[in-house]
Structure 1
């Protein structure tokens, strides 16, 4: 009996050491593209728009190359739904979104609240809210405001922040997270 107890203790100690080694050895990534390099040979983006009712589930990158038609589809999906203006979405923003989604380990598509915004739309939103930047990255296709029903704003915020691929804003009261490919920074409550 005594040996079983000490064997159990040793087993627990061994498992504890293994777990500590696993956590210590877990890779860290300095940016979203770095994180996605470890994700295999494909990159995928899933989104739905509550504004238009549209959905997208596309593989946009395979074996080191962006798929031109898939990126065009993402650009169209992330258009300014108020004016129907389409703009090229910065590939780094798409990568940040995909990397954060992978970190959250969910198949649920993002709800896209805002992707590209025309200057006209941005000015209108700015007149209604103090939280809209005059020179918003949305106007140059470098930002997205996203929500997931299965994840909290804090979970999304932490996942996007862990990617270190750009700016991450937490908007708890409005239930969304802003992700962009600008300088690495974070804000919000």
Structure 2
């Protein structure tokens, strides 16, 4: 993570102050953004990629505003690892990911299996699997496939569904959950 300075105060210093005062709220809201509003106005995402070896732990929302640099960092982290292409990830998806993690009450970071997918990668995956949508929300930066060692696919999916904020797919045989900011819907087992 880079340490850039804005208005004479480093981002790291600001994030340190807010992280030290963050309070985790009980899950009482029905949407991802609503749930996160109760989290002390600090939103955080923790992930690692087994494909690239990268790790990320960043606060991307402070006091009612997205932190542009952190959202860009998340978008780059969630790039198509096969060809390095990236798009701006939809902040609604990032909010769903963070809210689900909070609901699960874990300190373990997510393992990211797939974030953004270029059209080329999506076409290649589609040719090898019937479970890949032709117009996948992954290609718009609006979806992620995630895994946690400490939680089952059903536990993760139930937490994501509690957000009432997008699509949730269970892929039990592959041990991951798909989360997106599209229509509220569910599939898989």
- TM surpasses 0.5: yes
Give TM-score, length-normalised by structure 2: 0.85
Q: Counting helix residues as a fraction of each chain, which structure ranks higher?
A: 1
Alignment size in residue pairs? 164
Residue 39 of structure 1 pairs with residue 39 of structure 2 = yes
TM-score (norm 1): 0.85
Give the Cα separation in 1 of the matches to 2:27 and 2:46: 25
Whole-Å Cα distance in 1 between the matches of residues 81 and 123 of structure 2? Answer: 15
The alpha-carbon distance between structure 1 residues 27 and 96, as it changes in their structure 2 partners (threshold 3 A), is closer
Question: How far is the alpha carbon of 1:27 from its aligned partner?
Answer: 6.1
RMSD over aligned Cα atoms: 0.9
Structure-2 residue corresponding to 1:119? 119
Matches within 5 A, 1:70-149: 70-149=70-149
For 2:130 and 2:28, the matched residues in 1 are separated by: 35
Equivalent position SS for 2:173: coil
The runs of at least 4 consecutive aligned structure 1 residues that moved more than 4 Å come to none
Paired residue secondary structure (1:173): helix
SS at match of 1:57: strand
| Gaps in structure 1 of 5+ consecutive residues | 1-25
Q: Which has the larger radius of gyration?
A: 1
Distance 1:175 1:69 in 2: 31
| TM-aligned CA deviation for residue 30 of structure 1 | 2.8
